[in-house]
Structure 1
Amino acid sequence: MAKSMDKPALAPHFRLTGALFGAFIADALAMPVHWYYDTAALAKDYGWVTDFAKPRNPHPDSILWRSRYHPLRPEADILHNQAKFWGQRGVHYHQFLEAGENTLNLKISQLLMDSLLEKEEYDQELYLDKYVAFMTTPGAHKDTYVEECHREFFKAWAPQKKTPAAHLPDEKHIGGLCLPLPLLLFFQDQWDKALQLAECHLELTHPGTLMRNALACFADLLHDILHGADVRQSLKKNRPKPLQLLCGYPFAELSSRADTDIARNVFSTACYIEQSLPLTLYLAWKYQDDPEQALMVNTNLGGDNCHRGVVLGALLGALHGEQAWPRRWMDGLAHPPTAFSQWLATRFKTDA
């Protein structure tokens, strides 16, 4: 049963920093059990996950043995010394990360934060320079796995043309929603601009109507919550049909059932946006008054819990502010988004 949290009126900057840290905490918490689909194996290997942990091999559900990436030219190499692990069984996707570290998509989202702080504006070329340099520099990150969206980008990428979206296949993975989140927070007081820029940014790696609709759904929920609605109030709204297909489920009725039943038999713990976003919103509905429990349940459901967690943590952090997150989690992040958080706090601080 979700515990009640007194929710005094929150100033905007507390909601924004709560959303930011919620995203990072949820991803780091889920990281060691990311893409476990056998929850019995997850429990055997890690117990009930409540704190940050270091991943370990073997990973029983790893698909690295059948994942492929062959750069078309030397400068498009994005695997570097991790390439030797591809094609092997049992290799953990994040095997070299430490407890409290974030996975690759959130590290890439930090590049966007850096570029926003540098220009105090969205400069796509600056971001792409940072992204390309980060991905093509050996040792820039320690993640073994690189998602398909990034592999497709660098298949289409050439140094003289850094925006290959027209040559990318339509995307369908919830991980894409991690990438434009900083824009929604940075420009939250210019919402039309925030949406336009977030969609342009998403298009760089996650083109397609389905992902645009998912972003619109997530952004609309986040906007409502940042402006005082709770999760359930926002989810009860009528939205255009393409968005309703993602968020228009009978969450109140579903919340009386076991989470594992909902995850396995109604939705799916896989990464595909048409199942993963509704599952995330189900968790946000059910645990809106207990954000700590929400992130633990999400983590222990396995599957693409890292990327579901980013969306879940952002929504519940926006609802409750930084007070949503235990001190052990706030302090345990290996690379917290401190500079961006401080900018948000300073820019949007009010006396409210």
Structure 2
Amino acid sequence: MKETKLQNRAAGALMGAFVGDALALGPHWYYDLAELRRDYGEWITDYTAPRPGRYHAGLRAGDSSQAGYLLALLLRSLVERGGYDQADFCRRLDEELFPLLDGTPMAGPGGYTSQSIRDAWRRRVQRRLPWSQTGGHADTTEAIERTLALAVRYARDPARLAATIAANTHLTQIDDTVVSMTVAYGAVLGLLVQGHVLDAGLSATLMGLVKSGELPFHAVTAEGLKPPHPGDPEPPRAGNFASPDALLTPSYMAAAAADPGIRIEPAWKVSLVYGMPCAIYHQLPAAYYLAARFHNDFEAALLHAINGGGQNQARAILTGALVGAQTGLAGIPRRWLDGLSDGPALLKLALGLAARVGEP
């Protein structure tokens, strides 16, 4: 395949997510930073194996968690089907994931199964509900961690990006705010794959897509968030997210990262500023901040993401995709690509999807 800059950014986003997932496998979910430093030293710089009795225990350095497993599952579906086929993806969940689960947290591929997947398993397997009724109310980034592949595939088609991400998210999470923030992240990633930079002006570009009807967010303001003009009709709400605020967050984080009067030092303390927990409203601001501050330094962005503790795996996946899209595949350290378990197979999938960006 003759690689283009677009394809390089697309592959960088996908491999950035896989690398972020694996980097956080060992030090995942340490909320006591003193304990994290005792177990892994003052500064983690590479893949590490989980300690006995911890999350993902028994896996090796460089392995993927279940988030990486699910991302690869969706990637294979996208590559083999040529685009998003929800029935095919659901079949893969039924046949390749759910038989490996038992409804408890510390089981399944990757050594841990998240709340949203456990809820979907119970509804689908135990209660035999259709896929239209499997979504739950987890307020986490778990849908983003797989649907970032859809953001890459449809980076040049914002309307389809939003529709496919919303549909896939609803399989496991149905809270409107979570869905809107998930779609917003995908819209940001899509622009970065196109070649935009995560900066203070990116949200204006996203709002332009809202005004043109390409992104389904409700907005009443005029350009530049000015008041609506007298006589302007109320925009239709059917099918729209309640507000465009999830699209505004990234540029506020980028502005903070660029403002010399606002410094988070060292940058790993972003976890203390925005919060260590799993909820999407803690994770996205931290990922946007790191991805804006280190937009051309993949290694620095990821190391600060994982060394902040807490839910550093989600933080690293989200940051890895955003920065990988900006640096491209070439910006990811070679040692991390080489040290990733099943790295060649994952890279082949990433390049296969990257080759389809822009196709109908």
TM-score by length of 2: 0.78
- 2:47 is the alignment partner of 1:52: yes
1:267-305 deviation per Cα after TM superposition (whole angstroms, max 9, x unaligned):
101111111111111111222232211100101001111
Question: Residue in 2 aligned with 1:302?
Answer: 309
- 2:323 is the alignment partner of 1:316: yes
| Structure 1 CA distance for aligned equivalents of residues 81 and 275 of structure 2 | 40
| Structure 2 CA distance for aligned equivalents of residues 230 and 108 of structure 1 | 27
Amino acid at match of 1:242: D
Number of matched pairs: 306
Of residues 13, 32, 38 in structure 1, which corresponds to 2:32?
Answer: 38
- The verdict on how the C-alpha distance between 1:45 and 1:190 changes in structure 2, with shifts beyond 3 A counting, is same
| Structure 1 CA distance for aligned equivalents of residues 69 and 299 of structure 2 | 23
RMSD: 2.5
Please list, as runs of the form range in 1=range in 2, the aligned pairs for 1:15-164 lying within 5 A after superposition: 15-47=9-41, 48-57=43-52, 91-138=53-100, 142-158=109-125, 161-164=129-132
Q: Tell me if the contact between 1:232 and 1:285 (Cα under 8 Å) persists in the aligned partners.
A: yes
| Structure 2 CA distance for aligned equivalents of residues 123 and 107 of structure 1 | 18
Gapped regions of structure 1 (runs ≥ 5): 1-9, 58-90
Please list, as runs of the form range in 1=range in 2, the aligned pairs for 1:172-191 lying within 5 A after superposition: 172-191=139-158
| Deviation of 1:223 (Å) | 2.3
| Deviation of 1:54 (Å) | 1.2
Question: Residue in 2 aligned with 1:281?
Answer: 288
- The verdict on how the C-alpha distance between 1:11 and 1:125 changes in structure 2, with shifts beyond 3 A counting, is same
- The verdict on how the C-alpha distance between 1:40 and 1:262 changes in structure 2, with shifts beyond 3 A counting, is same
1:135-165 deviation per Cα after TM superposition (whole angstroms, max 9, x unaligned):
3334995433211101111221148544053
- 2:353 is the alignment partner of 1:344: yes
- The verdict on how the C-alpha distance between 1:255 and 1:326 changes in structure 2, with shifts beyond 3 A counting, is farther
| Deviation of 1:321 (Å) | 0.5
Q: Tell me if the contact between 1:175 and 1:271 (Cα under 8 Å) persists in the aligned partners.
A: no
Amino acid at match of 1:108: L
| Structure 1 CA distance for aligned equivalents of residues 347 and 295 of structure 2 | 25
Question: Residue in 1 aligned with 2:231?
Answer: none
- The verdict on how the C-alpha distance between 1:186 and 1:279 changes in structure 2, with shifts beyond 3 A counting, is same
Q: Tell me if the contact between 1:230 and 1:319 (Cα under 8 Å) persists in the aligned partners.
A: yes
- The verdict on how the C-alpha distance between 1:244 and 1:223 changes in structure 2, with shifts beyond 3 A counting, is closer
Q: Tell me if the contact between 1:22 and 1:310 (Cα under 8 Å) persists in the aligned partners.
A: yes
SS at match of 2:25: helix
Of residues 155, 171, 176 in structure 2, which corresponds to 1:209?
Answer: 176
| Deviation of 1:93 (Å) | 1.4
- Structure 1 runs, 4 residues or longer, greater than 6 Å off: none
- The verdict on how the C-alpha distance between 1:263 and 1:138 changes in structure 2, with shifts beyond 3 A counting, is closer
Q: Tell me if the contact between 1:97 and 1:142 (Cα under 8 Å) persists in the aligned partners.
A: no
| Structure 2 CA distance for aligned equivalents of residues 255 and 236 of structure 1 | 20
Question: Residue in 1 aligned with 2:212?
Answer: none
- The verdict on how the C-alpha distance between 1:145 and 1:189 changes in structure 2, with shifts beyond 3 A counting, is same
- The verdict on how the C-alpha distance between 1:255 and 1:348 changes in structure 2, with shifts beyond 3 A counting, is same
Of residues 240, 243, 246 in structure 1, which corresponds to 2:246?
Answer: 243
| Structure 1 CA distance for aligned equivalents of residues 73 and 59 of structure 2 | 18
- The verdict on how the C-alpha distance between 1:348 and 1:205 changes in structure 2, with shifts beyond 3 A counting, is closer
- The verdict on how the C-alpha distance between 1:156 and 1:321 changes in structure 2, with shifts beyond 3 A counting, is same
| Structure 2 CA distance for aligned equivalents of residues 152 and 22 of structure 1 | 28
Q: Tell me if the contact between 2:137 and 2:174 (Cα under 8 Å) persists in the aligned partners.
A: yes
Question: Residue in 1 aligned with 2:234?
Answer: none
Q: Tell me if the contact between 2:46 and 2:336 (Cα under 8 Å) persists in the aligned partners.
A: yes
Using CA pairs under 8 Å that are at least 6 residues apart, name the structure with larger relative contact order, 1 or 2: 1
| Structure 2 CA distance for aligned equivalents of residues 123 and 161 of structure 1 | 20
| Structure 2 CA distance for aligned equivalents of residues 150 and 347 of structure 1 | 28
| Deviation of 1:18 (Å) | 0.6
| Structure 1 CA distance for aligned equivalents of residues 355 and 270 of structure 2 | 41
| Structure 2 CA distance for aligned equivalents of residues 261 and 138 of structure 1 | 37
Question: Residue in 2 aligned with 1:269?
Answer: 276
Bigger drift between 317-326 and 283-292 goes to 283-292
- The verdict on how the C-alpha distance between 1:235 and 1:163 changes in structure 2, with shifts beyond 3 A counting, is same
| Deviation of 1:344 (Å) | 3.1
